[in-house]
Amino acid sequence: METQHLSGEGPLDEALERIHLSGPERDNWLSNHAPMAVESLAERGHSGTIHRWLDDYRDKLEEFPTPHEPVTDDNWQEALGDPRRIADWTEYFSHRLAEQPWREVLALWWPRLLDGLAGAATHTVIRVGHAVRSLLAQPQSPPRQVELAHALGYWAARHLPLGDPAPAPGAASAAEALATVPRIGEQAGGYLDRLAQVEHLPVWGSDVDDAEEARRRLGELVTAAVHRYATHAHGSPVMLVHSATAPNAVLRTLPALPRPLWVPSLRAAWAASAAVQAMYAPPAAAPFAPPGAVEPEEVFALAQDHGDEHVIKFADTALDVGGAQALTAALRAVELTPRE
């Protein structure tokens, strides 16, 4: 299939138009990472590679699902968390975003969806985070607003509350708290099987009641999760990426949200990040040799050359964190993630 350049104003908008012809999943539940990866490529100055990357990814795209039953302002609660309603939810948000400013739609629906960000292995909120970052850069872009409708629709259809894990002893810092997350008893099986085993999570961030402190703590959590990846990624190089990228998606969304939503966003992000650690972290750290001096642009170029969507997204988050250990973590993703 030859690259198709559509009506968008630039490579990212063109790519999003191509992607929106496809559904958010394949093989019944695996997430379509294309919108997240191409936004990362654009953000990091690799727009020229977007269409080629998307051409290589096209075999992982499936047709957009058929509608089931319209979602309305009256029946949305019963449709929440119903994956059969992906098309219905996407249509619902497309209408809302055509009628209201996207920030108003996001502010209304963020607290309704926040407790269900564990759905689809957190890819739902990650997709929203990428969509919001692109809109903060180009708020009037129609393809980017459509992408937000697709992202919110996916989140609503795959909405999955984490449950109510019992509080375990916490720690002062995010890094220490992540290190004390109790591993589930049987680290085998699929995501849902593992998620059902998460019964205890350390207490962290529950004392925060100030919006600015919530944002600072979210940044601390993202940094801790990225740094921990450098030493623990061998447990599950792909899945442990989400312990960092999910809270970073929340952090990226904060500037578009009313400040009263920042504190509950921190708490939801902590629970999701810690749950991923409980499900996939190995029992012990692995030794690694930090690289010599490398530049952030060099690290992201290596991730782009690797091509895997998780490697690209994780490198994007690592560059947000910055510093030698974050760059080392990104290089670990390049090293440990199989190339297809």
Q: Is the dihedral of CA 267, 269, 272, 273 positive or negative?
A: negative
- Is the Cα torsion angle 160, 164, 166, 168 positive or negative in sign? positive
Query: Six-digit token pair at 161?
Result: 């509350």
Helical axes 34-43 vs 123-137, angle rounded to 10°: 40
**What are the structure tokens assigned to 58, written together?**
């096209």
- Give residue 83's pLDDT band: very low, low, confident or very high (50, 70, 90): very high
Confidence of residue 1 (pLDDT cuts 50, 70, 90): very low
**Could you give the CA distance from residue 59 to residue 191 in angstroms, rounded to a whole number?**
23
Beta strands in the chain (DSSP E): 25-26, 30-31, 166-168, 200-202
| pLDDT on residue 3 | 36
Q: Is the CA virtual torsion 33, 244, 135, 116 positive or negative?
A: positive
Using the structure block, give the residue that is written with the tokens 């999943």: 25
At 163 the pLDDT is 85
Instruction: Report percent pLDDT > 90 for the chain.
Output: 91
Assign 167 to helix, strand or coil.
Answer: strand
What is the 3-class SS of 71-95, one letter each residue?
A: CCCCCHHHHCCCHHHHHHHHHHHHH
What's the number of CA atoms in the CB half-sphere (13 Å) around residue 122?
A: 28
The per-residue pLDDT for range 256-309, each reduced to its tens digit, is 999 999 999 999 999 999 999 999 999 999 988 778 789 999 999 999 999 999
Q: Where are the domains of the chain?
A: 11-157, 162-340
pLDDT digits (tens, 9 = 90+) for 209-246: 999 999 999 999 999 999 999 999 999 999 999 999 99
SS3 197: coil
> Taking Cα atoms as reference points, which of 208, 320, 200 lies closest to residue 271?
200
pLDDT given for residue 9 in this prediction: 65
The model scores a pTM over 0.85: yes
Encoded tokens for 90: 């996407």
In angstroms, rounded to a whole number, what is the distance separating the alpha carbons of residues 336 and 232?
11
Q: CA-CA distances (angstroms) from residue 323 to 186, 226, 230, 295, 299?
A: 35, 11, 13, 10, 12
Residue 340 above 80 pLDDT? no
Q: Token digits for 42?
A: 């654009």
